[in-house]
């Protein structure tokens, strides 16, 4: 992998990740952009719930469903200048022009998986998927060095139903200045379980699922399963067999095997509802340990288990799962698809 860091016309960082070492990336950004100003958003703490909310009103003006020939994530071409100055790329990462978090409140980046506007992550080759994994890992490392950053979250929103406003295959990275509420809940559960049993809760969950009916696929280094209390109609958790706290700690064997396993999972998601249905909308979310220790036994960085959660809001053909009163008002999910049935369906649509 070759990494090339440069700057866009307004000063934001752009990083190219290339498969070939002989690629030269020196095309300048010719757009007449004003220099990026001070952070426009803020993070406010909810003293009642104990969580944080990013206030980012400037995002109201972000690019919204542009036609394909005006996509800001495609490579630049004659008569059309984009966020990517070069005429092609393998993987490109840049600071979001409309960030939810910025400056002292963290950082937001866009990860373009390929220069092919018509592609998807599922259509990438294993070599391309491995390059995305390398980019996620490198950005986790780099962002962890920023003084304001406590946790790094790599994710992909796919599909207009999810709320995606740019059709180009891409994901995002949020570098938070705090531990996210979801991770804090996991840490509390880890600590409580360790206090009761002396064991690691992540390890026990994985062992229980391996012995049960909800395993979707497994390989030498990875296990994918539908969790016992799945929140979403079709939800898969992907764990490395060897517990590690973050992407940086994956060994080479797990890293090498990941593209094949993940691409198979994404392919199955697109086949859940039948070949005639439009691509399945989904969210793919990497859960990594925060860079603070957590303090209590059972909640240190080494106790946390890196894993990816992949889920769709489509509950059946032509119908979506909306977060209505119980979910949005009280955070109590109601799932229409039994996890065992979801796992069975995801096994049925295997590619081989």
Q: Could you confirm whether 170 is annotated as catalytic?
A: yes
The full 3-state SS of 74-124, as one line of letters, equals: CECECCECCCECCCCCCEEEEECCCCCCCHHHCEEEEEECCCCCCCCHHHC
Alpha carbon distances (Å) from 175 to 8, 22, 99, 196? 20, 31, 11, 33
CA separation, residue 18 to residues 6, 91, 131, 134 (Å): 14, 7, 8, 10
What does each C-alpha distance from 59 to 142, 146, 154, 291, 333 come to in angstroms?
A: 25, 23, 20, 28, 29
Catalytic residue among 170, 193, 287, 307: 170
Cα 216 off chain centre by: 20
The whole-angstrom separation of Cα 328 and Cα 334 is 11
Per DSSP, 250 falls in state -
Task: Tell me how far apart the alpha carbons of residues 158 and 277 are, in angstroms, rounded to a whole number.
Answer: 15
Instruction: Give yes or no for a contact between 247 and 258, defined as CB atoms under 8 angstroms apart.
Output: no
CB neighbour class for 73 (10 Å; exposed up to 12, middle 13-18, buried from 19):
buried
Active-site amino acid positions:
170
């Amino acid at each position: 992998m070759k990494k090339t860091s440069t700057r866009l016309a307004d000063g934001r960082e752009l990083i190219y990740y290339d498969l070939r070492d002989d690629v030269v990336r020196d095309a300048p950004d010719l757009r007449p952009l004003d220099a990026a100003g001070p952070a426009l958003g803020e993070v406010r703490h909810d003293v009642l719930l104990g969580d944080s909310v990013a206030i980012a009103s400037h995002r109201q003006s972000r690019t919204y469903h542009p036609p394909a020939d005006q996509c800001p994530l495609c490579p630049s071409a004659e008569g059309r200048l984009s966020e990517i100055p070069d005429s092609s790329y393998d993987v490109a990462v840049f600071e979001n022009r409309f960030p939810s978090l910025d400056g002292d409140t963290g950082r937001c980046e866009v990860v373009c998986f390929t220069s092919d506007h018509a592609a998807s992550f599922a259509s990438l080759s294993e070599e391309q998927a491995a390059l995305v994994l390398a980019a996620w890992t490198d950005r986790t490392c780099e962002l962890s060095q920023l003084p304001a950053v406590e946790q790094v979250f790599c994710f992909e929103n796919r599909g207009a139903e999810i709320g995606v406003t740019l059709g180009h295959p891409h994901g995002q990275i949020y570098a938070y200045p705090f531990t996210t509420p979801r991770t804090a809940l996991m840490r509390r559960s880890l600590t409580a379980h360790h206090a009761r049993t002396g064991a690691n809760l992540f390890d026990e969950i994985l062992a229980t699922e391996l012995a049960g009916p909800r395993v979707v696929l497994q390989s030498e280094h990875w296990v994918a399963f539908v969790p016992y209390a799945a929140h979403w109609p079709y939800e898969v958790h992907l764990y490395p067999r060897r517990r590690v706290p973050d992407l940086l700690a994956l060994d080479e064997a797990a890293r090498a095997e990941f593209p094949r396993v993940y691409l198979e999972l994404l392919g199955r998601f697109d086949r859940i509802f039948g070949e005639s249905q439009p691509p399945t909308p989904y969210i793919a979310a990497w859960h990594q340990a925060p860079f603070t220790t957590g303090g209590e036994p059972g909640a240190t960085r080494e106790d946390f288990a890196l894993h990816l959660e992949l889920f769709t809001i489509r509950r059946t053909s032509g119908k979506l799962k909306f977060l209505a009163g119980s979910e949005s008002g009280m955070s109590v999910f109601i799932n229409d698809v039994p996890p065992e049935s979801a796992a069975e369906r995801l096994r049925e649509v295997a590619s081989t």
